[in-house]
Structure 1
Amino acid sequence: MKIAFWLYFFMFIAFFDLHAQYPILTPFALSLGAAPTFIGWMMGIYSITHLPGNLLAGRGVDKHGSRRYLIFSLISAGIILLLQAHVTAPWQLLMLRSLSGFVLAFLAPACLALLASLSQDPIKQGKLMAGHGVMHTLASVVSPAAGAFLVAQAGFATTFQSLGWLLIGTGIIAIFLIKGNQGSTPAVSGHLTKGYDEVQTTGFRVIPLRFYLLPLAVACSQGILFFELPLQAGGISGILNTGLYFSLLSLGALVTLCMLFLHRYSPYARATTGVLGMALAFYSMVANWNIPLAVSLVFLGMAKGVLFPAMASLFIELSGGKRLGTVFSLQSIAMSLGAFLGPVLAGQIRHTLSPYFLAFLLLMLLLVTVPPMRKRSKAERTAGQTPPAVV
């Protein structure tokens, strides 16, 4: 599908820019004189400002389609990166990161809703979500090392300017390639179809709030990793090592994302397996198992490659495939809260308790909190309905 190809391209560029900053933001903040506790808040505020954006994006994507939100998010985030190149104090970086969190909050609900609308077949939707994961992972394989290398060669300012212009250029291209109000209608037609509201409402199922603990806990553990790993690698002096570590994480995810046969299995079973794998990987980082950090990161990435497409498919199935803008907006809100809590908690406890052990505890608690789903009957599958979870 042509729209899927271009959407994957836009997501690749957006994710490339995002992940290129992971190994350099902490060293950049340190170079401005920021303390580790402040860095935790800086990373957290980026995620907490996702919340108003997610709330606006959910209803907006369902009502108006994805196009305007996708373009706004890309161009605005690029402008903020251009401003970030001229930061001279930690509080300025904090302000710009908070603005960046708000404008990028529109990107994920818009992209995921548009992708999911390309098909109503659950297996094909799973493959489309896996394609989203592949683009995310391909970008995150090369971008951390590329960002670290660019900083080492040209400095922070040039790096932020380059990433900013890349996002702005991608947003301009999207203006010409995504036509009409494409969004979360059952079939993408280039404009809002007649009876849109009725189609979106019929068959929609309210997802129990406990299922949103899944993206909350997973994002929290990721936030812990993104905070702790650059400090563990040596801060400013370890930028290149940090970039390589994040690339190893993404290489592991790429391995399992390419296993397309996994999408024939239950999304709940895949999500549970992924959470357990992530928990064990975090535990291996603090246990006396003599496992190299690089190996643990590859295994952690493989678990993420199983989990993230499964999580998207799980929410599509739970909702009945309707009002996907709202569904993915709520998922993004849960992830934003988790990504806020992760680095903040890690910054507060890292001198008394390993942040990696905290991530392990959160993920193991998640496994006993989110209940399994009852298997659908033949009549329910035929009607396209999703049964309630077993409490």
Structure 2
Amino acid sequence: MTTSRSFVLICTVGIFCFISYNMVRMPALSLFAESLGAGPERIGLIVSVSTLTGVLLKLPSGALSDIYGRRFLLRIGVVAFGLPPFLYPFITSLDALTALRFLHGLATAIFAPSALATVAELYRERRGAALGTYTACTQSGSLLGPFLGGYLIHAAGFSTAFVTAGVFGCVAMVLFYSLHLDVSVPQRKEQGTAAVLSEMWKGFSVVAKNTKVLITSVTDAAKMIANGALMAFLPLYGVSAGLNPGEVGLLFTVQACTSFFSKPIMGRVSDRMGRQPLILLGLSICAGTFVCIPHVSMFPVLLLLSAGFGFGEAVVSSSSSALVADSSEFKTLGAGMGMQGTIMDIGHASGPLLAGLLIASLSYPMAFGVIAGVQLLAAGVFWVTMKRM
């Protein structure tokens, strides 16, 4: 399979995987948890727990892909996307839902670092554009998934939405297993657990000493704190403001649509203008739109703010992934992407938890204001650190 066909395959599989994942995640998960009796703090935990899987596994998953090859990890990842959605209709307790979310988190934890590293290997000279295009394709899952999920919940109930999500995941499995992804497989001279752990540790050590990778990943994590907070509590806020689940799903769709069309463009811009200025710009846009959301209840204005946040996300993501790839050695590219994914997931998991605590003790406007401040603080730290390097 040629490079272009391999790229099309990984992008197409990514689309179906993330449609499936986001049909479960937005707005279905928060509303489903609330229907089982969860309060704000427990909803924050349930939404964040799948991301905790990524915190634990993305870095070792990326490092293992450097040793065993990307295809091996991707095969496991697509299965983790396809099968868990069929279990949600059988969930009747919050503890079982929490456990299933942790299991479902294996999908992104295993698949994402290997997919990003694969794209970065396929297009070494045009990484910004290629990574922007790939992440735009996965973002299309956030475009279609919430809209389909919200509509199906409104029209037919939670079970229909979850089963449909499983069907999309199975399509991704069939596509990936029926077509051959053309990526290099590392030649391993040593065998055994000790040799594997030694190679993984070498990758960890190199990446952990890379200041550019770390500060870029932390900055990206600040954006993901806000993203996680929106994922958990925009559905609840929207319903309290008078929207139905289908309209709430459309808010996420507009956010993802803006990001989908902006990422490839901003990736090309970052190839020409540099990564750092765009990361600062994107974080500022995210913070400005995020802080305004709980102050309005009109559906058209919420759509506009969602679109603005999606554009800010696109500006940050298309540049940060490319900057991490630029700053990583080739032999530790998977570990670098895994490190970025791990730190991002820490932010993503923190967002729902932090927002849940703040909303329960303060209010939506104050909670969103605090989280917007975190994004601006991260932008300032990134600017100062990169200026000194």
Give 3-state SS (helix, strand or coil) of 2:92's partner.
coil
The separation in 2 between residues aligned to 1:309 and 1:285, in whole angstroms, is: 24
| Structure 1 pair 356–321 and aligned structure 2 pair: CA distance change class (3 A) | farther
1:115 is displaced (CA, Å) by: 0.5
| Pair 1:28 & 2:70 matched | no
AA matched with 2:248: T
| Pair 1:99 & 2:107 matched | no
Q: TM-score, normalised by structure 1?
A: 0.85
Q: Match of 2:139?
A: 137
Higher helix content, 1 or 2:
2
The separation in 2 between residues aligned to 1:265 and 1:272, in whole angstroms, is: 13
Give 3-state SS (helix, strand or coil) of 1:309's partner.
helix
Deviations 1:187-219 (A, max 9, x none): x44x3359999xx98xx7742133331122111
The aligned runs of 1:135-284 (5 Å cut-off) are 135-179=137-181, 188-189=183-184, 191-192=185-186, 206-208=209-211, 209-234=214-239, 238-259=244-265, 261-263=268-270, 264-284=272-292
AA matched with 1:242: V
AA matched with 1:211: T
Worse-matched range after superposition: 264-273 or 157-166? 157-166
Deviations 1:137-171 (A, max 9, x none): 32322221111112223321122122123213322
AA matched with 1:219: M
Deviations 1:227-250 (A, max 9, x none): 220111117973112101111111
Q: Match of 2:5?
A: 2
Q: Match of 2:193?
A: none
| Equivalent residue in structure 1 for 2:88, among 84, 94, 98 | 84
- The answer (yes or no) to whether the contact 2:143–2:254 under 8 Å persists in 1 is yes
The separation in 2 between residues aligned to 1:175 and 1:193, in whole angstroms, is: 22
AA matched with 1:360: A
The separation in 2 between residues aligned to 1:342 and 1:167, in whole angstroms, is: 26
| Equivalent residue in structure 2 for 1:328, among 337, 341, 352 | 337
The separation in 1 between residues aligned to 2:108 and 2:188, in whole angstroms, is: 30
- The answer (yes or no) to whether the contact 1:129–1:312 under 8 Å persists in 2 is yes
| Equivalent residue in structure 2 for 1:120, among 97, 102, 124 | 124
The separation in 2 between residues aligned to 1:310 and 1:372, in whole angstroms, is: 18
| Structure 1 pair 137–101 and aligned structure 2 pair: CA distance change class (3 A) | closer
Q: Match of 1:306?
A: 315
Q: Match of 1:37?
A: 41
1:338 is displaced (CA, Å) by: 0.8
Q: Match of 1:390?
A: 388
Give 3-state SS (helix, strand or coil) of 1:9's partner.
helix
The separation in 2 between residues aligned to 1:165 and 1:274, in whole angstroms, is: 35
1:320 is displaced (CA, Å) by: 4.3
1:36 is displaced (CA, Å) by: 2.1
The separation in 2 between residues aligned to 1:313 and 1:212, in whole angstroms, is: 11
AA matched with 1:324: L
| Structure 1 pair 130–103 and aligned structure 2 pair: CA distance change class (3 A) | closer
Q: Match of 1:383?
A: none
Q: Match of 1:349?
A: 358
Q: TM-score, normalised by structure 2?
A: 0.86
RMSD: 2.7
Q: Show structure 1 runs of 5+ residues with no match.
A: 183-187, 375-388
| Structure 1 pair 372–10 and aligned structure 2 pair: CA distance change class (3 A) | farther
Deviations 1:28-77 (A, max 9, x none): 11122222221111111111122222133022110011112112112123
The separation in 2 between residues aligned to 1:371 and 1:258, in whole angstroms, is: 24
1:347 is displaced (CA, Å) by: 0.7
Worse-matched range after superposition: 294-303 or 250-259? 250-259
Worse-matched range after superposition: 311-320 or 248-257? 248-257
| Structure 1 pair 195–215 and aligned structure 2 pair: CA distance change class (3 A) | farther
The separation in 2 between residues aligned to 1:256 and 1:174, in whole angstroms, is: 27
The separation in 1 between residues aligned to 2:257 and 2:291, in whole angstroms, is: 20
| Pair 1:16 & 2:24 matched | no
Q: Show structure 2 runs of 5+ residues with no match.
A: 191-198
The separation in 1 between residues aligned to 2:18 and 2:367, in whole angstroms, is: 25
1:17 is displaced (CA, Å) by: 1.3
AA matched with 2:388: V
The separation in 1 between residues aligned to 2:133 and 2:142, in whole angstroms, is: 14
The separation in 2 between residues aligned to 1:219 and 1:118, in whole angstroms, is: 27
- The answer (yes or no) to whether the contact 1:220–1:338 under 8 Å persists in 2 is yes
| Structure 1 pair 16–71 and aligned structure 2 pair: CA distance change class (3 A) | same
AA matched with 2:39: A
The separation in 1 between residues aligned to 2:294 and 2:28, in whole angstroms, is: 24
AA matched with 2:168: L
Give 3-state SS (helix, strand or coil) of 2:122's partner.
coil
- The answer (yes or no) to whether the contact 1:115–1:128 under 8 Å persists in 2 is yes
